[in-house]
């Protein structure tokens, strides 16, 4: 069991041997000096550790070290890590020092180990930190710095397998540092809060946030040096050249220089200080429309759209310099507080602004001028309030300056049409034959097509395009809407006019045009008929003739499953992949098995799934498709020779990655990925591995194709239909950034049109899909706080509000998140917050209500699932509830080995006696069938509704015969009630941001937070 711990100057690896005997460590004698570190009895020797790391290419020679770690245990032995599966005999563990052999490799070598992390909590966490550093580097969120290098400090070099740790010459070091602001800062705090204590047991005096910052700095520097490959300066002579050579070469040591250091520090402050209480905001104002009545908004259309058949009215903006960038101050925690610069200069007092707002405004404008040099013109006057631009300047602001300023933390406000109205193409296609108008046509079928130029929904003629070209301005008004016209887009449109715009095309070529379009001239509208039209509109499932349950399937498919089978078969015949994104519990497994039985292919299908689902697929295949020959390619005895005789080969993501070369040699009918969210990160080794396995068609099964951001959808679609959505960079610029950053409706429609034909999504709550599933009854249980809880709650609120009110930027956001976590723990139980091991009975209103509900469920002879997001709270609840209820209380969490998890699930499903099943939300939220329960209790709510629903779906799924009662415990009058009210009141906001967690609350003002956190009288028992 490999572990990783931050050793101060680098990442150290050590390992446990699960079967080691504790007798290897002799008991302590009375002469043992207190505080002396003892040898860890389960720790792997250095040579064993080196052998275990050899497969990653890491050479341990020269990097061995003995670390002293502070770990829980007794005088005789430490507590084994949960991953070993060993039960500890230590009754009252205490933190003690233990010596372990370790390897502290160069950072580049450590990052290679993290690229294929084993299933231990510490290594997985550091892998997430490394992935975060890589993402920051990819987005350019790094800057160079010059830092002091004490002569005694070793330098972790980024080099390859033979890289070593050298001592730099006295002076300084040239380093790359990450820029962590905004959403990145929030994620960094989440990583720090989620850091397992074992990740920093070699640095026990330092908080997790400090350890994370130090490690992130080192990882970012190493990754940047790997990306540069070689120094940018050869034979450096000047100080700046020596610094640049050290910055881009393997050795970071260089002479110190106070002047250079000060300039670099000022740069760092400039890119991070925009996160303060106020920020400068830039608002682009378009030219006034000629003859606009006084007082009419400048953001309304200049000319009404032309009537049908009327020639488009194309007009150049009147005069030059009519565009304006209005300068203003904006509250960072309340964007609605927007104060124009002219108001600031008039000296008017505005609540929410600092005492000297004019100084904040000038300082912010000075920092912004580094990113937007054109701003210098506005700063030539004593009281700058706007920057006047010509049309070309306004276009440059839209395309270049605005994204830079926004990324640096400044406020930017653009007109509604910005980024949405572009010149594009409209494709019209008609089937040429009856075969193409009905089910069964192929990718080689010919269809007639016509291509027209369009702006939004409006088509334009060649004459109108010629007029646009004549104007030679990047922003023009066409039929009442502003249109962005860069030279490349206009040239592409002129070339499109010259090309043949009518004719015939094979279906395959047409699909590529529809989905990929053109970077310079995107496809903005499609009009198609027949089955092709239904496919492109995402309605093929409704139009296709359902396929009856195939002979050989020992089940009766439901109507929606028959339609789904027809859709899968249809895509398969075309040679296309798909994403079956049915709601959890609607039978994606049996539909997939039906497809295999229906096809009766001569070559096998490869199914890749998480290890926890291998047994489930085996059992389901044996039950529903007994005629299928199934082979499980997993474990030490796996043999690729067995694949040839199978119809369905089941393997895990890890095994697919390890056996990639062997699996690539097999002729597969298709590759199926179950729980395809496992490949949502396209850069992981397992995602790259499954994409590299060749097959004529592919199928992704997932109930959540998008969990956090659109890049996950691209990764899953890239597996199902490689190249269909273009490159990841193109997808990000064309869809992800416009939709996520600007809520671009046009981009959202284009993405739905591009992915809709290949994604089938049905939900259980739709009675037209499934009518015989029992009802799901959701109830909010309002729980009072005990006096002790109320006192603790109020103390936490007062303490945290005082800190929040005196902080700003990154620190403020961290304080808000910390306050929320502490208040949620108070709502659970005082002992959860205090972590003092004190008694549980009689001290929590929520626990009292949970006991009542559990007693009622068990008295009715039924079973219940109880979810908590805190594993530590579940560990406290399990023995307490078992004793109070005098009934078995099962406890499933992420630290259990697979065999134990399977045993618990089987016992819960098979045993007739009433049972309570306590589950960790993260460990048991997906992949389990627990229909023996018809009660679900969420003890502490997770504010992402999708996560809660996934957990509830363990019971509310096909196979459930009883109505499912879902209870969500909420402490009345507390933070939990406030946030619940916000979610109910602002559904649109919740749907957009709750998926990323609770971070959206960090943007509230202090007064709003006071209202959210306040404790009302009705909340106390």
Q: What's 966's domain CATH number?
A: 3.40.50.300
- Which has more confidence, 735 or 323? 323
Q: What percent of the chain has pLDDT over 70?
A: 72
Give, rounded to a whole angstrom, the gap between the first and last alpha carbons of the chain: 48
Residue 28 has pLDDT above 50, yes or no: no
Q: Are residues 67 and 199 in the same domain?
A: yes
Q: How many angstroms from the chain centroid is the CA of residue 700?
A: 18
- Which has more confidence, 655 or 776? 655
pLDDT digit string (tens) for 618-674?
A: 888 988 999 999 999 988 788 888 888 899 999 999 899 999 999 999 999 999 999
Does residue 918 fall inside a structural domain?
yes
Q: What single DSSP character describes residue 695? A: -
Contact 581, 624 (CB under 8 A): no
Residue 312 has pLDDT above 50, yes or no: no
Contact 121, 34 (CB under 8 A): no
Q: Are residues 754 and 887 in the same domain?
A: no
Does residue 534 fall inside a structural domain?
no
- Give me the pLDDT at residue 498, please: 64
Q: Are residues 919 and 964 in the same domain?
A: yes
CA–CA distance, 73 with 93 (Å, rounded to integer):
4
- Give me the pLDDT at residue 421, please: 61
In 273-333, beta strands by DSSP E = 278-285, 314-315, 323-331
Q: Are residues 504 and 431 in the same domain?
A: yes
Count of domains observed in the chain: 5
Q: Are residues 256 and 385 in the same domain?
A: no
Does residue 1001 fall inside a structural domain?
yes
Helix (H, G, I), strand (E, B) or coil at 136: helix
- Give me the pLDDT at residue 258, please: 84
Ranges of H-type helices in 196-349: 208-228, 239-248, 258-272, 341-345
Please give the mean pLDDT across all residues of the chain: 76
Cα–Cα distance list, 270 to 189, 214, 366, 676, 935 (Å): 22, 21, 9, 41, 54
Q: Look at the block and give the residue holding tokens 């972590």.
A: 835
Using alpha carbons only, how large is the chain's radius of gyration in Å?
31
Contact 117, 55 (CB under 8 A): no
Dihedrals phi, psi of 352, to nearest 5 degrees: 105, -15
Contact 28, 67 (CB under 8 A): no
Q: Are residues 485 and 354 in the same domain?
A: no
The domain boundary, picked from 728, 760, 792, lies at 760
Cα–Cα distance list, 713 to 609, 720, 898 (Å): 18, 11, 29
Q: Are residues 80 and 211 in the same domain?
A: yes
Give 903's contacts (C-beta < 8 A, 6+ positions apart): none
- Give me the pLDDT at residue 305, please: 32
Does residue 765 fall inside a structural domain?
no
pLDDT digit string (tens) for 545-599?
A: 788 899 989 988 888 888 889 889 888 877 788 999 887 667 888 999 999 999 8
Cα–Cα distance list, 228 to 73, 216, 225, 548, 768 (Å): 46, 18, 5, 58, 57
pLDDT digit string (tens) for 368-386?
A: 888 899 999 999 998 999 9
CA–CA distance, 1011 with 1009 (Å, rounded to integer):
5
Does residue 935 fall inside a structural domain?
yes
Does residue 769 fall inside a structural domain?
no
Burial of 355 (0-12, 13-18, 19+ CB in 10 A): exposed
Beta strands 670-674 and 605-609 are parallel
CA–CA distance, 758 with 732 (Å, rounded to integer):
19
Residue 830 parent element (H or E): helix 830-834
- Which has more confidence, 994 or 777? 777
Nearest by Cα to 557 from 741, 411, 770: 770
Tokens linked to 717: 């679609």
pLDDT digit string (tens) for 420-458?
A: 666 777 777 777 655 444 444 555 667 777 777 777 667
Tokens linked to 425: 């193409």
Q: Are residues 81 and 140 in the same domain?
A: yes
Name residue 428's beta-bridge partners.
Answer: 450, 527
Q: Are residues 471 and 570 in the same domain?
A: no
Give 329's contacts (C-beta < 8 A, 6+ positions apart): 278, 279, 280, 281, 338, 339, 341, 344, 353, 357, 360, 361, 364
Dihedrals phi, psi of 709, to nearest 5 degrees: -150, 165
Q: Look at the block and give the residue holding tokens 């700003």.
A: 808
Q: Are residues 403 and 429 in the same domain?
A: no
pLDDT digit string (tens) for 797-836?
A: 888 777 776 666 667 777 777 788 888 899 999 989 888 7
Does residue 767 fall inside a structural domain?
no
Contact 616, 675 (CB under 8 A): no
Does residue 201 fall inside a structural domain?
yes
The domain boundary, picked from 362, 380, 413, lies at 413
Q: Are residues 867 and 998 in the same domain?
A: yes
**Sequential DSSP letters for 463-529:** HHHHHHHHH--SEEEETTEEEE--HHHHHHHHHHHHS--EEEEEHHHHHHHHHH--SSS-EEEEEE-
- Give me the pLDDT at residue 443, please: 57
The domain boundary, picked from 351, 381, 413, lies at 413
Name residue 425's beta-bridge partners.
Answer: 453, 523
Q: Indicate the range of 514-518, 639-643, 684-688, 777-781 predicted with least confidence.
A: 514-518
Burial of 230 (0-12, 13-18, 19+ CB in 10 A): exposed
- Give me the pLDDT at residue 170, please: 47
Contact 195, 131 (CB under 8 A): no
Name residue 481's beta-bridge partners.
Answer: 478
Per the document, the length of the chain is: 1021
Residue 461 has pLDDT above 90, yes or no: no
> What range does the domain containing 868 cover?
776-1019
Q: Are residues 474 and 616 in the same domain?
A: no
Residue 411 parent element (H or E): strand 411-413
Nearest by Cα to 840 from 802, 894, 883: 883
CA–CA distance, 215 with 199 (Å, rounded to integer):
11
Q: Look at the block and give the residue holding tokens 């490689």.
A: 722
Buried b or exposed e, range 776-791, using 16+ CB within 10 angstroms: beeebbbbbbbeebbe
Residue 746 has pLDDT above 60, yes or no: yes
pLDDT digit string (tens) for 1001-1021?
A: 455 556 556 666 666 555 555
């Amino acid at each position: 069991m490999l572990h990783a711990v931050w050793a101060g100057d680098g990442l150290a690896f050590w390992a446990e041997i699960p079967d080691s005997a504790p007798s290897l460590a002799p008991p302590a004698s009375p002469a043992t000096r207190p505080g002396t570190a003892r040898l860890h009895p389960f720790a792997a020797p250095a040579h064993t550790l080196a052998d275990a790391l050899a497969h990653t290419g890491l050479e341990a020679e020269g990097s061995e070290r003995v670390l002293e770690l502070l770990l829980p245990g007794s005088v005789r032995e430490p507590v084994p890590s949960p991953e070993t599966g060993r039960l500890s005999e230590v009754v009252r563990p205490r933190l003690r020092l233990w010596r372990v052999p370790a390897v502290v490799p160069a950072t580049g070598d450590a990052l290679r180990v993290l690229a294929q992390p084993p299933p231990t909590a510490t290594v997985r966490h550091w892998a997430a930190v490394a992935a975060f550093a890589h993402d920051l580097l990819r987005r350019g969120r790094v800057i160079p710095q010059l830092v002091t290098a004490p002569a005694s400090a070793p330098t972790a070099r980024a080099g390859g397998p033979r890289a070593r740790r050298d001592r730099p010459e006295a002076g300084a070091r040239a380093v790359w540092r990450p820029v962590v602001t905004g959403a990145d800062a929030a994620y960094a705090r989440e990583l720090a809060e989620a850091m397992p204590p074992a990740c920093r047991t070699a640095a026990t005096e330092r908080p997790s946030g400090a350890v994370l910052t130090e490690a992130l700095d080192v990882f970012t520097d190493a990754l940047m040096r790997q990306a540069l490959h070689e120094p940018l300066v050869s034979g450096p002579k000047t100080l700046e050249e020596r610094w640049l050579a050290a910055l881009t070469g393997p050795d970071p040591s260089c002479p110190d220089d106070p002047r250079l250091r000060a300039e670099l520090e000022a740069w760092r402050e400039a890119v991070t200080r925009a996160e303060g209480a106020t920020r400068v905001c830039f608002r682009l104002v378009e030219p006034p429309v000629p003859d606009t009545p006084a007082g009419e908004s400048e953001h309304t259309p200049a000319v009404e759209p032309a009537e049908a058949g009327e020639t488009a009215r194309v007009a150049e903006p009147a005069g030059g310099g009519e565009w304006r960038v209005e300068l203003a101050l904006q509250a960072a925690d309340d964007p609605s507080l927007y104060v124009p610069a002219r108001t600031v200069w008039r000296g008017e007092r505005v609540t929410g602004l600092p005492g000297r707002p004019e100084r904040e405004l000038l300082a912010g404008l000075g920092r912004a001028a580094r990113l937007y040099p054109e701003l210098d013109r506005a700063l030539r006057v004593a009281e700058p309030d706007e920057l006047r631009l010509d049309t070309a300047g306004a276009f440059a602001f839209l395309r270049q300056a605005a994204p830079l300023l926004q990324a640096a933390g400044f406020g930017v406000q653009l007109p509604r049409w910005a980024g949405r109205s572009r010149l594009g193409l409209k494709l019209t296609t008609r089937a040429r034959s009856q075969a193409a108008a009905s089910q069964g046509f192929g990718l080689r079928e010919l269809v007639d097509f016509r291509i027209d130029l369009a702006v939004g929904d409006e088509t334009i003629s060649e004459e109108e395009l010629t007029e646009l070209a004549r104007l030679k301005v990047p922003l023009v008004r066409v039929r009442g809407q502003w249109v962005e016209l860069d030279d490349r887009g206009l040239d592409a449109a002129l070339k499109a006019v010259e090309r043949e715009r009518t004719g015939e095309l094979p279906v395959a070529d047409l699909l590529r045009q529809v989905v990929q379009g053109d970077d310079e001239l995107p496809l903005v509208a499609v009009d198609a008929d027949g089955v092709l039209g239904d496919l492109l509109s995402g309605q093929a499932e409704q139009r296709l003739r359902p396929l009856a349950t195939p002979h050989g399937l020992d089940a009766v498919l439901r109507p929606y499953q028959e339609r789904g089978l027809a859709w899968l078969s249809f895509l398969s015949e075309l040679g296309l992949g798909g994403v079956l994104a049915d709601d959890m519990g609607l039978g994606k497994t049996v539909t997939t098995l039906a497809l295999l039985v229906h096809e009766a292919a001569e070559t096998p299908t490869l199914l890749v799934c998480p290890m926890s689902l291998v047994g489930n697929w085996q059992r389901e295949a044996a039950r529903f498709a007994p005629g299928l020959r199934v082979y499980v390619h997993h474990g030490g005895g796996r043999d690729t020779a067995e694949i040839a005789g199978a119809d369905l080969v089941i393997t895990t993501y890890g095994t697919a990655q390890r056996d990639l070369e062997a699996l690539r040699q097999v002729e597969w009918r298709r590759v199926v990925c179950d729980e395809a969210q496992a490949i949502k990160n396209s850069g992981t080794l397992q995602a790259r591995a499954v994409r590299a396995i060749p097959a004529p068609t592919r199928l992704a099964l997932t109930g959540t194709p998008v969990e956090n951001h659109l890049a996950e959808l691209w990764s899953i679609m890239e597996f199902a239909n490689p190249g269909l959505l273009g490159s990841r960079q193109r997808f990000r610029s064309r869809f992800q950034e416009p939709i996520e950053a600007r809520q671009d409706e046009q981009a959202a429609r284009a993405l739905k049109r591009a992915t809709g034909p290949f994604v089938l999504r049905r939900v259980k709550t739709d009675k037209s899909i499934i009518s015989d599933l029992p009802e799901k009854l959701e109830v909010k249980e309002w729980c009072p706080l005990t006096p002790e809880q109320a006192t603790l709650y109020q103390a936490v609120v007062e303490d945290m509000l005082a800190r929040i009110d005196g902080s700003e930027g990154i620190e403020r956001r961290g304080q808000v998140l910390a306050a929320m976590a502490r208040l949620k723990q108070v709502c659970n139980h005082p002992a959860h917050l205090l972590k003092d091991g004190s008694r549980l009975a009689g001290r929590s209103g929520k626990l009292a209500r949970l006991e009542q509900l559990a007693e009622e469920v068990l008295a009715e002879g039924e079973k219940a699932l109880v979810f908590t997001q805190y594993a530590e709270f579940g560990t406290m609840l399990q023995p307490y509830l078992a004793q109070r209820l005098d009934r078995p209380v099962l406890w499933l969490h992420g630290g259990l080995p697979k065999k134990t998890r399977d045993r618990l699930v089987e016992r819960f499903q098979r045993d007739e006696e009433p049972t309570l099943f306590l589950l960790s939300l993260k460990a048991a939220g997906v992949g389990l069938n627990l229909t023996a329960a018809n009660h679900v209790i969420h003890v502490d709510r997770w504010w992402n509704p999708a996560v809660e629903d996934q957990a509830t779906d363990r019971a509310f799924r096909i196979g459930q015969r009883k109505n499912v009662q879902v209870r969500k415990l909420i402490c009345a009058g507390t933070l939990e009630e406030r946030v619940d009210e916000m979610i109910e009141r602002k559904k649109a906001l919740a749907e957009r941001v709750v998926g990323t967690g609770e971070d959206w609350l960090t943007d509230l003002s202090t007064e709003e937070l006071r209202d959210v956190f306040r404790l009302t009288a009705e909340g106390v028992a």
